[in-house]
């Protein structure tokens, strides 16, 4: 990586002001008279009655959903875009990433409704602003009922001012440049450094077509994950090992064979955390399956939420568990326990995993090995795929 190339990889100092109408127009290109709904999650969905949840200062995600999206639609954006609805519904928080959603929905009048009877069939655009990601279940329902939508879990002020304020036409163009330069790869290897030791994870991709999360959802039934900006694969298999940082700061070493984590051992921290993970892998082996390999494509500031931070250029993530929403084979029915049917991203980034360095990521494609990332910085190959006019 040259000093000149590295110097160009800088987060913009300013972003355009957030505009809900611009975001909806760019992402969906909505047609006149299409109906819009907003979903939020609450411990008790009945707390949406008379907007009572607004009395809880801890519900910042849901407050953004109300103030920015619900009120924004009601106070002019519906009329501007010639849309209908703008209705708000709550469901019970699922407790995990991409777990199936309950069917019960409640509206601000306190009425109990059915998602599958009253909401999915009757709305064209559905925006889910929640604590946990609902991309996987909503993707399945979108294909069944024909709506489009977006998931915006973990929404905060930084995301509003940066990740949702960007021009998604430009995001899509840059994502496609990276996708074309990475598609049909045979494999990717990631070198990790922790406490003076190196660990390598090899992921077989079998020359599959690379996919992109680029923020545009203008065609048939689909769900955009916002903020967007990612190239991803569903690994065909994997082997090796890699360090994983748990939520409590404990770091374990994951041993991978046949595309799955088969063993977890302690590197630093609380042994009970690793033991609990090990028991989960043993009791429900598909929970350890590597269902995604993702690369960020955007120049964004750290938001403290993985939904944005995994989209930052130079970061990588792998994910375990459910993969059907990405084109993989692992559906909730294949888990021994439905509560384990999550899709859990494991993000490697300087702010998130400062103890773990990604010293190199390389790809074998078309008979050649290309270095993609070194020390969380795009290497020359990746940097050169991007449009120089975009600041790279």
Same domain, 154 and 233: no
Q: Is residue 6 part of a domain?
A: no
In angstroms, the CA 7 to CA 223 distance is 35
- Which contiguous run of DSSP H or E holds residue 20? helix 20-28
Same domain, 340 and 214: yes
Q: Is residue 11 part of a domain?
A: no
Concatenated DSSP letters for 152-185? -TT--HHHHHTTTTS-HHHHHHHHHHHHHHHTT-
* Res 4: pLDDT: 33
Domain boundary among 106, 141, 161: 161
Same domain, 133 and 224: no
Same domain, 157 and 172: no
Q: Is residue 4 part of a domain?
A: no
In Å, what is the CA distance from 104 to each residue of 48, 107, 329?
Answer: 13, 10, 27
In angstroms, the CA 53 to CA 377 distance is 42
Same domain, 240 and 372: yes
pTM of the model: 0.93
Q: Is residue 254 part of a domain?
A: yes
DSSP 3-state of 290: strand
- Nearest CA to 105 out of 114, 96, 97 is that of 114
Domain boundary among 130, 161, 192: 161
8-state DSSP, 65: I
Neighbours of 104 (CB within 10 A): 15
Q: Is residue 3 part of a domain?
A: no
Same domain, 60 and 188: no
Q: Is residue 290 part of a domain?
A: yes
Same domain, 126 and 208: no
Same domain, 356 and 313: yes
Same domain, 117 and 89: yes
pLDDT in tens, the chain (392 residues): 333 344 356 788 899 999 999 999 999 999 999 999 999 999 999 999 999 999 999 999 999 999 999 999 999 999 999 999 999 999 999 999 999 999 999 999 999 999 999 999 999 999 999 999 999 999 999 999 999 999 999 999 999 999 999 999 999 999 999 999 999 999 999 999 999 999 999 999 999 999 999 999 998 899 999 999 999 999 999 999 999 999 999 999 999 999 999 999 999 999 999 999 999 999 999 999 999 999 999 999 999 999 999 999 999 999 998 888 888 888 989 999 988 888 899 999 999 999 999 999 999 999 999 999 999 999 999 999 986 554 44
Same domain, 131 and 228: no
Domain boundary among 132, 161, 190: 161
Same domain, 129 and 243: no
Q: Is residue 132 part of a domain?
A: yes
For residue 31, the enclosing domain spans: 20-161
Q: Is residue 1 part of a domain?
A: no
Residue owning tokens 């209705």: 87
- Which contiguous run of DSSP H or E holds residue 81? helix 78-81
Same domain, 98 and 189: no
Domain count of the fold of the chain: 2
């Amino acid at each position: 990586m040259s000093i000149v190339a590295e110097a160009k990889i800088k987060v913009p100092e300013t972003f355009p002001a957030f505009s809900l109408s611009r975001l909806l127009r760019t992402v969906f290109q909505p047609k006149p008279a299409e109906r819009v709904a907003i979903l939020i999650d609450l411990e008790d969905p009945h707390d949406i009655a008379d907007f009572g949840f607004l009395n809880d200062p801890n519900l910042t995600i849901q407050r953004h959903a109300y103030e920015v999206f619900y009120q924004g639609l009601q106070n002019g954006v519906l009329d501007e875009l010639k849309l209908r609805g703008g209705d708000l519904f709550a469901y019970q928080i699922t407790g995990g990433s991409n777990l199936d959603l309950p069917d019960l929905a409640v509206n601000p009048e306190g009425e109990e409704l059915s998602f599958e009877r009253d909401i999915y069939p009757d709305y064209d655009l559905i925006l889910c602003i929640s604590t946990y990601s609902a991309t996987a279940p909503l993707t399945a329902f979108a294909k069944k009922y024909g709506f489009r939508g977006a998931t915006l879990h973990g929404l905060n002020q930084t995301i509003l001012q940066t990740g949702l304020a960007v021009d998604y036409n430009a995001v899509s163009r840059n994502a496609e440049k990276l996708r074309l330069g990475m598609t049909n790869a045979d494999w990717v290897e990631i070198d990790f450094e922790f406490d003076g030791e190196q660990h390598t994870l090899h992921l077989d991709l079998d020359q599959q077509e690379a996919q992109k999360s680029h923020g545009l959802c203008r065609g048939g039934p689909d769900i955009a994950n916002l903020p967007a900006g990612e190239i991803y694969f569903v690994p065909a298999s994997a082997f090796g090992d890699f360090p994983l940082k748990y939520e409590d700061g404990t770091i374990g070493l994951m041993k991978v064979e046949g595309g799955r984590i088969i063993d977890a051992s302690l590197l630093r921290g609380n042994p009970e955390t690793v033991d609990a993970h090990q028991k989960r892998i043993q009791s429900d082996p598909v929970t350890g399956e590597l269902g995604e390999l993702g690369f960020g494509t955007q120049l964004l500031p750290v938001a403290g939420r993985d939904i944005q931070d995994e989209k930052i250029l130079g970061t990588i993530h792998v994910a375990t568990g459910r993969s059907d929403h990405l084109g993989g084979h692992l559906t909730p029915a294949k888990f021994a326990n439905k509560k384990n049917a999550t899709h859990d991203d494991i993000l490697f980034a300087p702010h998130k995993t400062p103890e773990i360095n990604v010293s190199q990521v390389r790809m074998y494609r078309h008979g050649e090995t290309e270095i993609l990332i070194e020390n969380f910085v795009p290497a020359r190959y990746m940097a050169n795929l991007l449009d120089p006019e975009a600041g790279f």
